[in-house]
Structure 1
Amino acid sequence: MFDTDKLSSLDALMEAQKIAHAPIIFQVANLLREWGILKLLHENKKTGMRVEELMAATGISEYGIKVLCESGFSMGALKLEDERYHITRIGFFLAFDEMTNANFNYSLDVNLFGINELGDSIKESRPAGLQKYFNKKWETIYPHLTELPEKAQKSWFGYDHFYSDSAFKPLVDLMAERKPDKILDIGGNTGKWAIAITTASEATKVTILDHPLQIQTAFKNAEAAGVKERVDGVAMDLLDHSKAFPEGFDVVWMSQFLDCFPPEDIIAILQRAKEALNEDGRVHIIEPYWDRQQHEIGAYILINCSPYFTALANGTSKMYSAKEMHDYIEAAGLEVDEEIDRLGFGHTMTVCKKKV
């Protein structure tokens, strides 16, 4: 991944310029999207469009069209032939690709200003960007997601759901085949997983651990889905490591949960999860590890989500590699029993048993 050693000096210098101008390019690309220029060029992809035609179609001045389209040309989103602009594959993905738009909106509405505080966040182990640009009293973003400004909230959930939803059905199908009796869903939120697995597997009961508001919402959702008799919940501060988890479970389930915490908390949570298992129980960790991606696109996206955790989420966590997670699993007194990769957009299910 990311092997640039074979680049010539001139090509490497060009790549460095792309990084140096990244904030400018990002804003231009955003306006090409928002103001419909990329869409117009796609609709006229056979002929392309002159500056005057783009002016007439958008109401943007000649100056504005030239500034945006020349920059779009330089970034590879547009090509210029015979004084007519055409959309390229890069421009098409910026305008229409679901993954790219989820990433773009997340960068624009959630990260854009807060990431300026990355340095202080690293030095002080706190989400300085969250506190400066959203609310200075918030210690982490998680309890306040529904309090974010509307666009930031929509983009945050759009990003999160795009990636988590891709693995959701394969995981439901996989676990329904195994028919676990009792699942402890740690960080189960509003019950989406609990409802899905109890609907798919009538033999399964789920206990959710989360904040009180999430538990209340999960109960309402479970009742609406007709599975309330098999969905239970316990309100708990999951970071109070003095409090034991409920015991006697076949499965302890943690989906895109552990990446929200630093290593010391991950190990403590896994130790408590281990004690929640029955004799033959297993801990199931679902994470998109950056070193298990099929293509460097996936690794690039995951690695560059980590600065969000630093500046805006909690100041201490990141997207982990499988190697790192295996180290934490071992430190908690567990060992990897099974792993299934390539679930959805690059998720892995790591199944752990008590170390013998």
Structure 2
Amino acid sequence: MQNKKFSPERQSAFEARFEAQKIAYGPVVFQCVRYAWKRGMLQAIADAGDTGLSSDELASTGRWTPYVLKVVLETCLSAAVVYLDDGRYVLDKAGFVVLTDPITQVNIDFNHDVCYQALFSLEQSLDAEKPLGLKVFGDWPTVYEGLSQLPEPARSSWFAFDHYYSDTSFPDILPDVFATAPRRVMDIGANTGKFSLAALGANPGIELHLVDLPGQLAVAGGALQEAGLRERATLHPTNLLDPAAKLPADMDVIWMSQFLSCFSEAAIASILERAAEALGPRGQVLIMDTFWDRQRYDIAAYCLINTSPYFNNLASGNSKVYESGDYVRLAEAAGLELVTARDNIGYCHSLLRFAKKAPKAA
């Protein structure tokens, strides 16, 4: 396991003060860079190549006034998104990333369309351990009940964020799922059915049991029907926050992807206990998630750690991006033991494989 310490070289007092100001003005920089990207300023500068464009040349297009150009591009200059070369704006490396990197764009859209307004309530959400920021979108206890009703563009940005992080991993993990030749597979937290579609399409010999809230299962069921795979899938509408809600039994593989991070430790413990009870004699639980402590690069750990406030403020109020050791500890308490752990899957996933603990010899 790779623990990230975030210990850069010692900063001077001056450097530390500059970094602190970046934090203070972070929301301002975010909005101006986003504006420059969305409104085409960065693309216009990029199209000019190494020669760049002057403010007058940009203004002559009629797309932006000289005032707006100065306000936005000077902030972009301060953030190393553009640089000035003899009075001409040229795209800098960070600006190139904003223009071309899909994960950066997904993260910007998610933080703007889903999180930005809601984060004004983060202080209250943390104190109450309830998703009080969710009120900007609707009156639901958690975001999951409201996903199908989120207004645009929040809904599209939420699913783009969720799918980008998970979809890059599915092709790589199917051999892991089928390694024990399972016949009955349960997808807990099926969401829109992405994993179930991939698994059913890859292995005609399995049957899928999808477990999620009714709204999500309606979407997943429609996707399975459209793909001609509905007859091999059984839908189990279930509120897993209800500790009395049982899971279908005798499963060879129980799959959970980016699911347990939606819940508190107490809820995770309850779900894992019920998952252990639902396993067949040689069944296993496979958990794929984004553990910040198992990342190869600090940049991935940084993104994951800073997704946790979303979980508090919008998702459930008491969930987060966990360390892998948290899941191992809770699984052991539920009667499971870690068999294998595999990292570097897709963009930033790890796969933990659990089996029932062997009974102690008398």
Shorter-chain TM-score above 0.5: yes
Alignment of 1:38-187 (within 5 A): 38-131=42-135, 133-135=136-138, 137-176=139-178, 178-187=180-189
Structure 1 residue 7, shift from structure 2 partner: 2.1
Instruction: Say whether the 8 Å CA contact 1:255–1:287 is kept in structure 2.
Output: yes
Alignment of 1:212-231 (within 5 A): 212-231=214-233
Q: Structure 2: which 5+ runs fail to align?
A: none
The equivalent of 1:209 in structure 2 is 211
Compared with structure 1, are the counterparts of its residues 36 and 335 closer, same or farther at alpha carbon in structure 2 (3 Å cutoff)?
same
SS of corresponding position for 2:319: coil
Answering whether residue 230 of structure 2 is matched by residue 247 of structure 1, we say no
The equivalent of 2:345 in structure 1 is 343
Instruction: Say whether the 8 Å CA contact 2:148–2:215 is kept in structure 1.
Output: no
- Once residues 221 and 67 of structure 2 are traced to their aligned partners in structure 1, the CA distance between those partners, rounded to angstroms, is 57
**How many residues of Structure 1 are paired with residues of Structure 2 in the alignment?**
354
The equivalent of 1:352 in structure 2 is 354
- Once residues 150 and 219 of structure 2 are traced to their aligned partners in structure 1, the CA distance between those partners, rounded to angstroms, is 19
Compared with structure 1, are the counterparts of its residues 189 and 336 closer, same or farther at alpha carbon in structure 2 (3 Å cutoff)?
same
Structure 1 residue 229, shift from structure 2 partner: 3.1
Structure 1 residue 153, shift from structure 2 partner: 0.8
Instruction: Say whether the 8 Å CA contact 2:170–2:198 is kept in structure 1.
Output: no
- Once residues 184 and 53 of structure 1 are traced to their aligned partners in structure 2, the CA distance between those partners, rounded to angstroms, is 59
- Once residues 41 and 58 of structure 2 are traced to their aligned partners in structure 1, the CA distance between those partners, rounded to angstroms, is 7
- Once residues 342 and 111 of structure 1 are traced to their aligned partners in structure 2, the CA distance between those partners, rounded to angstroms, is 27
- Once residues 37 and 19 of structure 1 are traced to their aligned partners in structure 2, the CA distance between those partners, rounded to angstroms, is 24
Structure 1 residue 109, shift from structure 2 partner: 0.7
Answering whether residue 41 of structure 2 is matched by residue 37 of structure 1, we say yes
- Once residues 138 and 122 of structure 1 are traced to their aligned partners in structure 2, the CA distance between those partners, rounded to angstroms, is 18
Deviations 1:19-50 (A, max 9, x none): 11111111111111122111011101221111
Instruction: Say whether the 8 Å CA contact 2:177–2:286 is kept in structure 1.
Output: no
Output the TM-score relative to the length of structure 2.
Answer: 0.94
Q: Identity across aligned pairs (percent)? A: 37
- Once residues 260 and 20 of structure 1 are traced to their aligned partners in structure 2, the CA distance between those partners, rounded to angstroms, is 29
Instruction: Say whether the 8 Å CA contact 2:145–2:215 is kept in structure 1.
Output: no
Structure 1 residue 288, shift from structure 2 partner: 0.8
SS of corresponding position for 1:282: strand
Compared with structure 1, are the counterparts of its residues 329 and 94 closer, same or farther at alpha carbon in structure 2 (3 Å cutoff)?
same
Compared with structure 1, are the counterparts of its residues 74 and 59 closer, same or farther at alpha carbon in structure 2 (3 Å cutoff)?
same
Deviations 1:179-198 (A, max 9, x none): 31111111213332222212
Structure 1 residue 297, shift from structure 2 partner: 0.9
SS of corresponding position for 1:46: helix
Answering whether residue 31 of structure 2 is matched by residue 27 of structure 1, we say yes
Instruction: Say whether the 8 Å CA contact 1:127–1:315 is kept in structure 2.
Output: yes
Compared with structure 1, are the counterparts of its residues 86 and 329 closer, same or farther at alpha carbon in structure 2 (3 Å cutoff)?
same
Instruction: Say whether the 8 Å CA contact 1:186–1:254 is kept in structure 2.
Output: yes
Instruction: Say whether the 8 Å CA contact 2:148–2:216 is kept in structure 1.
Output: no
